[in-house]
Amino acid sequence: MKTFLPLLGKEVRALFQSPIAYIVIGVFLGLMGYSFTITLFNNKYATLIHIFFQSAGLMLLIVPIITMRLFAEERKAGTLELLLTAPVRESHVVLAKYLASMAVLGAMIGLTGIYALVLGIYGSPDWGAIYSGYLGLILLSSTLVSIGLVVSALTSNQVIAAIVTIGISFSMWMVDSLASMAPDALERILISFSLLARFTPFATGAMYTSDFGFFLSSTLLAMFLAMRALARR
Amino acid sequence: MTAPVIVAQNLTKYYGSRLAVDGVSFDVRPNEVVGLLGPNGSGKSTILRILTGYLYPTAGTARVAGCDVVSQGLEARRQLGYVPEDVPLYTNMRVNEFLAFMGRIRGLDHARLPKAIDRAIDRLSLGRVRTLLISKLSRGYRQRVAIAQALLGEPKLLILDEPTNGLDPRQIIEVRELIRTLSGELSILVTSHILAEMERVAHRVAILLDGKLLSVQTLGAHESNAKYRIRVPGSSALAVQSALREVTGVDFVETLPNDFYSIASNAGATPVVRALVGAGLRVEEVGAAASGLEELFLRLTEGSPR
C-alpha cells in the first residue's frame, strides 16, 4: 500500500494533466447530450436505454484512446525501466494504471447522470433499469480498460496499441453475429464471449450473475496477462 | 572481510537465439567502484538490467547485498539505485515532485522523505531547478536529477549506465567527481565504452566483448604514471635508460619500433625530455602513449570484427 498510493497518484495526475482526458470527456458528453435531447423530444419516453447502448458503442473507441499510452508511452520513453527497477510490484503498477483509467471513465459516465436527473425531475423513469445500465457501462469499461492495458504493455507504439485494442474490442462486441453461422457447440462459446450479449441485459434493466462473472473474470484475466506482459523477459 | 555487494555467477542471457551475455561472473565489494568496459553491444547494459531486475537471466545467478535478483527481486531492488542509459525521467513532473514520487516508491515515509529529498538536491546542486519542470532542464541537469533519485533511500549500490553520455566536458568532470565522492559511502557499478573515463573513476574494470568477460583488471597503478611515447633517433636503448636513471618518478618501460621509447613519468614529459637532452640525445617527438588499460583492451579485443 505504501508504494501503491504514489503509483496511483502519478497515474491519475498524468491522465488528468493531459488534454486527452478532457477532450474525450467533452466529445463524449457532447454526443450523448445531443442524442439524449433529440431522443427525448422525439419519443417522450423517460428512458436511457439508447444512451447506454450509444455510450457502450463509443466506449469501444474511447477506451483505447485512454489506455494506449499507459505502458506504450512509458516503454518508449524508458521510464518503464525506471519504474520496474524500483522496489514496486508489477501488480501494483498494473492496478494503478487500471484504476486511474477507470477514474477518467467513471467521471465521464458519472457526468451523464445529469440526463437521469433530468428524467427524474420531468418524468418518472424506471430507476432500476437506470442503475443497472450504469453498472453495465462500468463493467464494460472495466473489461475494455484491462484489454487496453494488455495491448499497451506489449508495444512501445501508442498508435498500434490503440488500433489493436479497438480491433479486439469490436471483435468481442460483435462476435455473437458470427454465432448463427457457427456449429452449435461453437455458437454458445461465441455468444458467451460477446460483449454486446453480456451488456444488453444490463442496459435493459436485467442483471444476471453470469454476466457479472464474465466482466469481472475477463477484467482479472486481462490484468493478469498485462502483468505477464510486463514480465522481465 | 565484508561480503560483496554484488555477486554475479555465470550470468547468461539470450535474446531469442542471440547470446547477449555469456557466462559472466564478477563481484563488487563494499565502497568499490567497478567499471564494466566494452564496445557497444558487448552486453554491458544487459548485465545491468539483470542486476536491477529489469530482465531475468536465462541462466546463472546474481545477488545484490545478499538478495537474489530473481527470487528476492523486491528486496534486491530496495538495496540499489539505478540510472539507466539515456536518463529516462517523467518530464511532466517538477524536480521536487519527481524526487518525492521516486522516494515514496522506494519506501521513504512522510517523516524521512523531505530530508532525503533536501539531501539529494543539495548533493547534486539541484536547488536552482527544484521547482522547474523536468522537460525544461538541460541534459546535464537531467543526469543530476536521475542520480539524485537513485540516491534516495540510501542504497548500498549505485548502478550507472553510461553516465557521461551526452554531457559536456565540465559536466563529465562533475559526474566523475561525484562518483569519487560517493564511492566513500556505497558501491558503484558503472558502464562506459570510454577507457579514459574508467581509468579515472574505477578501482577495477571488467572488460567485456560479445557478451563474454575477458578480464577483470585492478586499476590504480595507471592513475599517477602517465606513459609517453618519445622518439630519440640515433641512440640506443641503453643510452636512453642511463639518461633517465637518475630522474625520480621516471621509468623506462620499453623500446618501440622506429626509434620510439615508451617511458612512464609521474611528473609529466618535461623532466624526461630535459634529462634526455641533457645527456646529449636528440629528442624529435613526444606524445602520450596508450595507457595500460588501453593496451590491455586492444590486446584482448584484437581480432574482433568490430
* CA nearest neighbour of A132 among A75, A204, A80: A204
Interface touch A79/B90, C-beta < 8 Å: yes
What pLDDT does residue B220 have? 60
Q: What would the pLDDT profile of B157-198 be if each residue is shown by its tens digit?
A: 999 999 988 888 888 888 888 888 888 889 999 998 777 778
User: Least CB-CB distance to B54: which of A7, A10, A81?
Assistant: A81
| Closest Cα in chain B, distance from residue A85 (Å) | 6
Q: What SS3 state is found at A163?
A: helix
In A, which residues are within 8 Å of B53 by CB distance? Answer: 84-85, 232
Spatial separation of the C-alpha atoms in residues A138 and B104, rounded to whole Å: 31
Spatial separation of the C-alpha atoms in residues B280 and B273, rounded to whole Å: 11
Q: Between B40 and B60, whose confidence is greater?
A: B60
* CA nearest neighbour of B177 among B201, B141, B149: B201
Report ipTM for this prediction: 0.86
A 69-108 → B contacts, CB under 8 A? 77-79, 81-89
| Closest Cα in chain B, distance from residue A153 (Å) | 14
B222 pLDDT above the threshold of 50: no
Region for A59 from its dihedrals, namely left if φ exceeds 0, alpha if ψ lies in -120 to 50, beta otherwise: alpha
Burial B75-86 (b: 16+ CB within 10 A, else e): ebbbbbbbbbbe
Interface touch B56/A10, C-beta < 8 Å: no
Instruction: Check CB contact of A180 with chain B, cutoff 8 Å.
Output: no
Percent of chain B with pLDDT over 70: 94
Domain that holds residue A176: 4-230
A92 pLDDT above the threshold of 80: yes
B221 pLDDT above the threshold of 60: no
Could you give phi then psi for residue B234, rounded to 5 degrees?
Answer: 75, 20
- All structural domains of chain B: 6-222 (3.40.50.300), 224-296 (3.30.70.100)
Lowest-confidence pick of A102-106, B135-139, B162-166: B162-166
Residue given cell 483509467 in the structure block: A101
Q: How confident is the model at residue B216 (pLDDT cuts 50, 70, 90)?
A: confident
Q: Amino acid identity, residue B209?
A: L
Residue given cell 565502497 in the structure block: B31
B75 Cβ partners below 8 Å, 6+ apart?
A87, B67
Instruction: Check CB contact of A183 with chain B, cutoff 8 Å.
Output: no
Mean pLDDT of B80-86: 93
Spatial separation of the C-alpha atoms in residues A145 and B6, rounded to whole Å: 40
Q: What would the pLDDT profile of B28-48 be if each residue is shown by its tens digit?
A: 999 999 999 888 888 999 999
Helix H or strand E encompassing B9: strand B6-15
Helix H or strand E encompassing B298: helix B292-300
Q: How confident is the model at residue B225 (pLDDT cuts 50, 70, 90)?
A: low
Spatial separation of the C-alpha atoms in residues B233 and A110, rounded to whole Å: 90
Domain count along chain A: 1
